[in-house]
């Protein structure tokens, strides 16, 4: 029964004595079984597009830990690739893309309706998972939010301050806003197809929202998120959405109401007590233990896990890290965190 799943109960606003738990990047390099399957696939992108192996790595952390949610194994940069950008990963460094900085580049992007040809394997992974997951596990679909994805498309790589994207915003608003619009349309199509394939909720990752200040935050983080959420809810009534405007700071306040998100995920640059007081009053919150505890473990891990649970205990909460788990994390620390959340 869908309504019984703990994550969906939190998303509908229910306060639970033990919060449901999953972890960003739970299928990742800290797990030996993930590294083995990635090796079998050849490289990261081949793994994303191999539905059988992507299903396998999505299930690995569910089997090992029994998390309350599984997130489909894919990447936020598959969408620009499906829109026509070249994408590759440099081992040890990260993603590289062909850049888009002018009207001609914008015109070359494929329309939202053409993305499915490339992304069909992701939908197949979602279908596989919908049939394979334990009955109590919620299946999460996801995409990057337009600003974050645009920052990679404009720079051609990850950047510490999203400088190239800010520069294009200042120098050529027409092209910059054109990219945001095209990504907004593509994201609606992409998430909608994941929902049709069986995703029970979706999450928007705006990893670089923190570098948008003032009006820019409203125009390029809030507005596209709101547009995506309204379109998804119109097409798929009741579909729950988590928004993650990472490092939004004070701008986390009111983000539920401004965007229509059912849950706002908070990173660990704000305290759980602050987020409980200022963000959870408006609805479900996800977060926000520092991923560093998965590396360092010990008493601090137990203490901070308990503190996070305690801070959020009077409202709807999904326990998670404040950002993705890192490759140097110890799998035993993850078990200790879960035992602490579930066992007190």
Element (H, E) at 242: strand 241-245
For the question of residue 75 being annotated catalytic, the response is yes
CB atoms closer than 10 angstroms to residue 172? 16
Pairing of strands 284-289, 317-321: parallel
Residue choice 44, 116, 120, 292 for contact with ligand CP3 (CB under 6 A): 44
Please say whether the beta carbons of 275 and 296 come within 8 A.
no
Q: Nearer Cβ to ligand CP3, position 58 or 308?
A: 58
71 is a site residue for ligand CP3 (CB under 6 A):
yes
Residue choice 27, 85, 209, 329 for contact with ligand CP3 (CB under 6 A): 27
DSSP assignment of 115-176 equals: THHHHHHHHHHHHHHHHHS-TTPEEEEEEE-HHHHHHHHHHSB--SS-HHHHHHHHH-HHHH
324 is a site residue for ligand CP3 (CB under 6 A):
yes
67 is a site residue for ligand CP3 (CB under 6 A):
no
133 is a site residue for ligand CP3 (CB under 6 A):
no
The CA distance from 1 to 191, in Å, is: 23
Q: Which 264-283 residues touch ligand CP3, going by CB under 6 A?
A: none
To ligand CP3, the closest distance from the beta carbon of 311 in angstroms equals 23
For the question of residue 342 being annotated catalytic, the response is no
116 is a site residue for ligand CP3 (CB under 6 A):
no
210 is a site residue for ligand CP3 (CB under 6 A):
no
For the question of residue 152 being annotated catalytic, the response is yes
Report the candidate in 107, 106, 108, 126 with the shortest Cα–Cα distance to residue 116.
126
Contact residues: ligand CP3, CB under 6 A = 24-29, 38, 44, 71, 73, 75-77, 94-95, 142, 144, 158, 205, 207, 324
């Amino acid at each position: 029964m869908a309504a019984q799943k703990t994550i969906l109960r939190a998303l509908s606003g229910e306060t639970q004595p033990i919060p449901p738990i999953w972890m960003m990047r739970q299928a990742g390099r800290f797990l030996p079984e993930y590294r083995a399957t990635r090796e079998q696939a050849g490289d990261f992108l081949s793994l994303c597009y191999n539905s059988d192996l992507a299903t396998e790595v999505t299930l690995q952390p569910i089997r090992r830990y029994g998390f309350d949610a599984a997130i489909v194994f894919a990447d936020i940069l598959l969408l620009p690739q499906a829109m026509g950008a070249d994408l590759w990963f440099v081992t040890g460094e990260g993603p590289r893309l062909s850049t888009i900085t002018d009207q001609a580049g914008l015109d070359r992007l494929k329309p939202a309706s053409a993305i499915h040809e490339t992304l069909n394997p992701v939908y197949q992974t979602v279908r596989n998972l919908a049939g394979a997951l334990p009955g109590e596990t919620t299946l999460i679909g996801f995409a990057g939010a337009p600003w974050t994805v645009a920052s990679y498309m404009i720079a051609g790589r990850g950047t510490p301050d999203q400088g190239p994207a800010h520069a294009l915003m200042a120098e050529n608003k027409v092209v910059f806003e054109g990219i945001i619009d095209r990504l907004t349309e593509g994201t609606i199509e992409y998430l909608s197809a994941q929902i049709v394939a069986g995703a029970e909720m979706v999450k928007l990752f705006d990893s670089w929202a923190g570098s948008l200040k003032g009006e820019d935050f409203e125009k390029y983080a809030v507005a596209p998120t709101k547009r995506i959420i309204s379109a998804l809810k119109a097409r798929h009534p009741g579909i729950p959405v988590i928004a993650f405007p990472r490092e939004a700071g004070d701008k986390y306040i009111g983000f539920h109401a401004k965007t229509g998100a059912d849950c706002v995920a908070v990173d660990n640059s704000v305290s759980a007590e602050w987020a409980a007081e200022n963000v959870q009053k408006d609805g479900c919150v996800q977060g926000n233990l520092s991923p560093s505890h998965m590396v360092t473990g010990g008493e601090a891990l137990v203490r901070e896990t308990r503190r996070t649970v305690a801070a959020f205990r009077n409202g709807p909460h999904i326990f998670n890290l404040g950002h993705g788990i890192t490759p140097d994390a110890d799998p035993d620390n993850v078990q200790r965190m879960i035992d602490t959340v579930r066992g007190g």
